[in-house]
Chain A
Amino acid sequence: MKQKKWPEAWHEVTPGCMVFTPGSASTYKTGSWRAQRPIYDNKKCIKCGICYLFCPEGCISETAEGFFEANLDYCKGCGICAHECWPQAIAMIEEEV
């Protein structure tokens, strides 16, 4: 029987409501919540990784060259990365409406 993504009927709820799919929160793409997005200016970036450390979503990752970028599937546009960036290499710009 095909496993349903989420339980619907009462007997489909797993004992204890346990969730056996690890990282299932990643299917919830919170990027749609965004009203602004971070834009990186790599000419200013000093590769300190502060943006990566401070991101509350954990969606910033290091590129092969050692710069950083936000995963726009999850980035909620909170602007903490831009606020914390020492050389001010991150700008928050309005999402197109």
Chain B
Amino acid sequence: MIDSTAYRIPDASPASFLKLAASLSVVLLTCSLSWDAWPIAGTLLAVTLAGLALADMPWQTLARRLALFLPVISLVALSIPLSQGFTPSWMQVAATIVGRGVISFLAGLWLIRVLPFDQLLVTLRALRLPAVVVASLAMMYRYLFVLWEEIARLKTARRARSLGHANTITQWMAGVALVGTLVIRSLDRGDRIHRAMLARGWDGHIRS
């Protein structure tokens, strides 16, 4: 006998709301703080790190995620003085951007750690986020794995033909070609998925 709730999306639990609210509160509070309020920012950072520790987030994983995020937020921070000139307070502005970015990023990581994506979608739906947004997020999450597998296949195929002789420039060129291939394949896939949805009666309305 199949579980009678096989297709139904479960209701959002109060705990899910609390987790989402806590994470959003940290992000909003962090983004509303000025440079002078660094003690509060420090407290928020400490609270978020404590939350991650309580959620058993491995520190190596955290360091790897930060290593990916820090260059991006640093470039964003650097773009302000580059576009508006190096005023006396440019370092302060850049540091504020990096600080806000890092705390918000950590709060997001905590949320992902404590709230499964499926539950997050249910909670967003319960908060009356438009169904089409929730459905888009669900599809994005579903196809992230497919895209990841596609990248792995392309990289393996590239390695298999590089025969270990590729220099840095060749590797960069191959990387650019890989991204191009991926974009084209993703567009094609999007087209095929849309057809598959139409074939099963999709008329642009989300039903659950």
Same complex origin of A and B: no
Interface residues of B (CB under 8 A from A): none
Interface of A toward B, CB cutoff 8 Å = none
